[in-house]
Structure 1
Amino acid sequence: MKKNHILIISIFLSCLLLAGCGAGSRGRAVVFNSLYSSGQYKAALENAVADLDEGDDAVLWDLQAASAAMAAGNYTAVCDYLDQAEGLSKDIDLQGAEANAFQTTGEIIFNSYLVDYKPTLYDKILINTYKGIAFMGLGDPANARVEFNRAYDRQRRSVEKYRAEIKGLLKEEKKDYSQEVRSSGSEEGGSISGPVFNYDKAVEAARQKVQGQRMHNWKPYTSFVNPFSSYAGALFWLAYGKDGGDFNKALLSLKRLKDMAPSPVVDRDLNLVSKLLKGGDFPDDQVWIIVENGLGPVLEEFRVDLPLFLLGGVSPVKISSLALPRLRSRGLASPDFEVTVGEGTETAWLLSDMDRVVGTEFDAGYDLVIAKAVSSMLVKAASQYAASRVAGDWGAVLMGIAGAVTTQADLRIWSSLPKQYQAARIERPDDGVINLCPSGAVQSLRVEVPQASSSLVLVTMPTAAARPAVNVIALNP
């Protein structure tokens, strides 16, 4: 058997193996999502830890484990998993050009599941936000301050800088495609003049095709700011502020939040920060409630067919497919969430809609997603042509199957984030008991709060069928 025949068979078998990586990743996500959405938070945590032990997508499973640990009230575990996630994220950001080039080549030839999950900007902001909340729960305001300052600094990153990074990556993607599509036609002892498709025309055709397939039912935020992170930081600086610098951070965050998600809760907090700036004391008789309501968006795959005969080159493959991700919105656990104290009732107001947070960044980076998918499709088509020249029909068939099974959209996402963050604020009752009332619930949840200080009540309710997880944190006790 010729060396080229052995190479084609080896590539075919490797593609079958790598196709299983994507299927395995998706299967693990289904199991975790089922446990978490049903309110089995400890079981979901155990499942995420088991997936961490597998060694793949460590950042993603650290994030999933942290969500489950937070719901379970294990603040130490939250900090540990998010520390790991942040450390791995820094390693990814700092890896060299050679490693990046190798990973990009793998993504083009096979698919994105060959590369570990890369955290998004909103992932990184929420890593610091949740670490800050967990340190507050551990009674460690010094470390909480570090995390909220980091989240604050991340939020200040400009949209233009992010878009410039995407533009640079798009240029690199075109360069990588040009290198790969030409090398795909190499043959021992010479070369084969394979099809060199018009990359720009292919990308534009793909953009036109997907235009109507990724319609959103929500309006993206105009910047990469997560209002929840702004609010959590503001609440920390209100409770633990040492000077005007801290209170001014709270003021700026709340003003930004008022523009993005106005509510009576934010108005009351703005009044409070004004008093603190004038030398007043942080009150010891308030209860802030933050509700994690429902589940945020997930990614699903859709296919787009492109006519290769219109893109230049000569190839037996006339039509090829792209596999692309699109966001799918999930529902609220409860359309309304109320807090009752005696005969009084306070409604939880919207702080942040994660459909919009995720959608903002997803849309900004989608041209790069399309570019990678197009590069992969064209390289596979060129490889199929090269295989047909070397080994005839059977070579083309094997490479065609290999290309088909490895054409998979990257559906990895931090799926345990809520659909909405909501907030309420009340005065602490004399008996220290408040009742949380999701609409439609048979009975309310009775929660006891500290009577010696103000407090934060964090409520997690992923679905209507899940029993809410409730954690109480004393503020500046």
Structure 2
Amino acid sequence: MRKLYGVCSVAVAGLILGCAHTASRGELDRFQQAYYAKNHQQADQVSKAALKEDKKQKDAPLWNLEDGVNAFMMGQYKASLDTLDKANKTFDTNFKSMEKGIAKAGAATLGSAINVPYEGHMYEWTLTNYYMALDYAFLGNKQDARVEFNRTIDRERRIKEAYKKQIKKTQEEMEKAKQKNGAMFSKLTAGTAGWQSELDKTFSNLAQFKTYTGFINPLVDYVSGLFFASTGDSKGIDDLKEAYGVSQNKIVGEDLKNFMDHTKEKFTWVIVEDGKQPTLGEFKMPSINLALPKLKDGQAFHTNFSVVVDGKSEKMGVLSNFNVVVQKEFQTTLPVIRGRAISSAILKTAAGKGMETAGQFVPGVGGAVTSGLGSVMRSVNKASTAADTRGSNVFPSMVYLGRVDNKAHKFSIQIDNLHQDFTIAPCNGKPAAAGQVCGDTNNIIFVRTFPNDLNVKSLSL
């Protein structure tokens, strides 16, 4: 009997702690170090190794997202598309479930929340389509780029309504948990006050960003707007309006007016993604055996951003504040985060106690094993309590915007002591030469900063 109990104990512990590989903080840290050192090949190796080790593919969407953006940085647009599409399929399933009001509160009933398949954050869902659109655009496939930009904006605008259904479902799960164990529910709810207090400090600056509402990222709407408006599609005007309403960026407002007036002038826009996005840490509450995620601030790499056009310097303005985009989503989703944790904690406790109690009524070896398993479940649940801190780390903290009238002769992008020089000349339908942008087309130059280097890509619209 003792031997059988030991085997079963190990089996339950494996189930609860997660026999399947989950994205460890160590792997994400190694990927991040390589990515921001601009060692994209090494980052690619880390993410592919993590995918291979993840036998049940619980963290596959996260690694596919990371690897897909990394491939985009390397200019491997086809590989980026293929990888991002895998992430997108999972995110799309989660999105449709949320639209149907199918929440996953309680999915982590046994063990740590990190053993639940990675669902992704909603800003990640949108950015997956955004980077797929860029991949198609750089491959010269404007038709499929249009499709992906449409999906990006459509998903972004539908998330808010879908999320209301998820909140409703989570509230129903919380009510069930409250009825199951009202005393524990009250204890857990009160016990999260410290977590809420710390988050309130994190969110203390959000009052000044009232234009950031819902789940709108002005970067996504702006680039989509430029893409459509440059081809004469009126849909681009709506996207630019959305981007201006959130960003209040002067250049976006001028672009909106220009396209509404059907301007014939050609421009080159400079979009700079700087720094590292906010990430998640853990806030543990040992007294109530609960752990919840907390936000860690994003990080800027540089401080001075300007475009020098024919010798005249123009300071770039903020287009999108990713710190606020991520904080706003996290703030909005707090009811679900807390509700899942509390419901799950109560259900975990109930499951362990239930098996212990059931064992008392089963004769012989079976009863002892059942009771023992219940005890092990309760012990391991306590030991395995951990917050789900998984999330991307490839996106910026801030996005800056500059613009050049193509009537100019040359310009330079200046970011602290780093710079990239360009000349402007007609291309007459041919690809631009190195260090040149086409004066007879609209163009977007995408710049991704790293601590000591820049990744620069030019796209003719």
TM-score w.r.t. length of structure 1: 0.79
Structure 1 window deviating more from structure 2 (4-13 vs 361-370): it is 4-13
**Structure 1 pair 294–114 and aligned structure 2 pair: CA distance change class (3 A):** same
What does residue 63 of structure 2 align with? Answer: 61
Task: Give the CA deviation at 1:235.
Answer: 0.7
Q: Distance in 2 between matches of 1:396 and 1:62?
A: 37
What does residue 43 of structure 1 align with? Answer: 42
- Checking the alignment, whether the CA contact within 8 Å between 2:44 and 2:71 is kept in structure 1 is yes
**Structure 1 pair 14–36 and aligned structure 2 pair: CA distance change class (3 A):** same
Partner secondary structure for residue 198 of structure 1 = helix
Alignment partner of 1:449 out of 436, 449, 459: 436
- Provide Cα deviations, 1:167-199, integer angstroms capped at 9, x if missing partner: 213313554x589x7xxxxxxxxxxxxxx4535
- Checking the alignment, whether the CA contact within 8 Å between 1:349 and 1:424 is kept in structure 2 is yes
What does residue 362 of structure 1 align with? Answer: 330
What does residue 89 of structure 1 align with? Answer: 91
Task: Give the CA deviation at 1:292.
Answer: 0.8
- Checking the alignment, whether the CA contact within 8 Å between 1:320 and 1:381 is kept in structure 2 is no
**Structure 1 pair 200–398 and aligned structure 2 pair: CA distance change class (3 A):** closer
- Checking the alignment, whether the CA contact within 8 Å between 1:141 and 1:240 is kept in structure 2 is no
Task: Give the CA deviation at 1:203.
Answer: 4.6
Opposite residue 376 of structure 1, the aligned amino acid is S
Alignment partner of 2:274 out of 293, 314, 318: 293
Partner secondary structure for residue 42 of structure 1 = helix
Partner secondary structure for residue 391 of structure 2 = coil
Partner secondary structure for residue 288 of structure 2 = strand
What does residue 318 of structure 2 align with? Answer: 350
Question: Structure 1 stretches (4+) deviating beyond 6 angstroms?
Answer: 386-397
Task: Give the CA deviation at 1:208.
Answer: 2.5
Residues 1:210 and 2:195 are matched in the alignment: yes
Task: Give the CA deviation at 1:104.
Answer: 5.7
Q: Distance in 2 between matches of 1:11 and 1:372?
A: 25
Opposite residue 198 of structure 1, the aligned amino acid is A
- Provide Cα deviations, 1:32-59, integer angstroms capped at 9, x if missing partner: 1111122222322232233233334111
Opposite residue 193 of structure 2, the aligned amino acid is Q
Task: Give the CA deviation at 1:359.
Answer: 1.6
Partner secondary structure for residue 149 of structure 2 = helix
> Following superposition of structure 1 onto structure 2, how do residues 15-34 of structure 1 map, counting pairs within 5 Å?
17-18=17-18, 21-22=21-22, 25-34=24-33
Higher RCO structure (Cα 8 Å, ≥6 apart): 1
What does residue 468 of structure 1 align with? Answer: 454
What does residue 14 of structure 2 align with? Answer: 14
Q: Distance in 2 between matches of 1:43 and 1:223?
A: 36
TM-score w.r.t. length of structure 2: 0.82
Q: Distance in 1 between matches of 2:291 and 2:314?
A: 46
- Checking the alignment, whether the CA contact within 8 Å between 1:152 and 1:230 is kept in structure 2 is yes
Residues 1:198 and 2:183 are matched in the alignment: yes
Matched-pair identity in %: 26
**Structure 1 pair 342–84 and aligned structure 2 pair: CA distance change class (3 A):** same
> Following superposition of structure 1 onto structure 2, how do residues 70-85 of structure 1 map, counting pairs within 5 Å?
70-85=72-87
Q: Distance in 2 between matches of 1:145 and 1:384?
A: 52
- Checking the alignment, whether the CA contact within 8 Å between 1:18 and 1:406 is kept in structure 2 is no
Task: Give the CA deviation at 1:139.
Answer: 1.3
- Checking the alignment, whether the CA contact within 8 Å between 1:12 and 1:398 is kept in structure 2 is yes
Residues 1:270 and 2:256 are matched in the alignment: yes
Q: Distance in 2 between matches of 1:4 and 1:386?
A: 20
- Checking the alignment, whether the CA contact within 8 Å between 2:282 and 2:291 is kept in structure 1 is yes
Partner secondary structure for residue 365 of structure 1 = helix
Task: Give the CA deviation at 1:155.
Answer: 2.8
Opposite residue 271 of structure 1, the aligned amino acid is K
Task: Give the CA deviation at 1:450.
Answer: 2.5
**Structure 1 pair 93–6 and aligned structure 2 pair: CA distance change class (3 A):** farther
Task: Give the CA deviation at 1:259.
Answer: 2.5
Q: How many pairs does the alignment contain? A: 426
Residues 1:258 and 2:234 are matched in the alignment: no
Q: Distance in 1 between matches of 2:106 and 2:336?
A: 15
**Structure 1 pair 155–95 and aligned structure 2 pair: CA distance change class (3 A):** closer
Opposite residue 338 of structure 1, the aligned amino acid is S
Partner secondary structure for residue 444 of structure 1 = strand
Q: Distance in 2 between matches of 1:416 and 1:156?
A: 23
**Structure 1 pair 123–158 and aligned structure 2 pair: CA distance change class (3 A):** closer
Opposite residue 446 of structure 2, the aligned amino acid is L
Task: Give the CA deviation at 1:120.
Answer: 2.6
Partner secondary structure for residue 116 of structure 1 = coil
> Following superposition of structure 1 onto structure 2, how do residues 78-227 of structure 1 map, counting pairs within 5 Å?
78-93=80-95, 107-157=108-158, 159-172=160-173, 174-175=175-176, 177=177, 196-198=181-183, 200-214=185-199, 215-217=201-203, 218-219=205-206, 221-227=212-218
Structure 1 window deviating more from structure 2 (259-268 vs 392-401): it is 392-401
Q: Distance in 1 between matches of 2:16 and 2:144?
A: 47
Q: Distance in 1 between matches of 2:174 and 2:58?
A: 24
Task: Give the CA deviation at 1:300.
Answer: 0.1
Task: Give the CA deviation at 1:69.
Answer: 1.5
- Checking the alignment, whether the CA contact within 8 Å between 1:202 and 1:374 is kept in structure 2 is no
- Checking the alignment, whether the CA contact within 8 Å between 1:227 and 1:257 is kept in structure 2 is yes
What is the alpha-carbon root mean square deviation over aligned residues?
3.2
What does residue 363 of structure 2 align with? Answer: none
- Checking the alignment, whether the CA contact within 8 Å between 1:346 and 1:426 is kept in structure 2 is no
Q: Distance in 2 between matches of 1:323 and 1:166?
A: 20
Partner secondary structure for residue 445 of structure 1 = strand
Residues 1:321 and 2:289 are matched in the alignment: yes
Opposite residue 212 of structure 1, the aligned amino acid is S
**Structure 1 pair 396–49 and aligned structure 2 pair: CA distance change class (3 A):** closer
Alignment partner of 2:227 out of 233, 236, 240: 236
Task: Give the CA deviation at 1:322.
Answer: 0.8
**Structure 1 pair 108–7 and aligned structure 2 pair: CA distance change class (3 A):** farther
Partner secondary structure for residue 73 of structure 1 = coil
Q: Distance in 2 between matches of 1:84 and 1:399?
A: 34
Q: Distance in 1 between matches of 2:279 and 2:215?
A: 18
Opposite residue 121 of structure 1, the aligned amino acid is M
> Following superposition of structure 1 onto structure 2, how do residues 387-402 of structure 1 map, counting pairs within 5 Å?
398-399=376-377, 401-402=379-380
- Checking the alignment, whether the CA contact within 8 Å between 2:273 and 2:399 is kept in structure 1 is yes
**Structure 1 pair 19–331 and aligned structure 2 pair: CA distance change class (3 A):** farther
Structure 1 window deviating more from structure 2 (382-391 vs 55-64): it is 382-391
What does residue 393 of structure 2 align with? Answer: 415
- Checking the alignment, whether the CA contact within 8 Å between 1:388 and 1:396 is kept in structure 2 is yes
- Checking the alignment, whether the CA contact within 8 Å between 1:92 and 1:118 is kept in structure 2 is yes
Task: Give the CA deviation at 1:340.
Answer: 1.7
Partner secondary structure for residue 437 of structure 2 = coil
Task: Give the CA deviation at 1:236.
Answer: 0.4
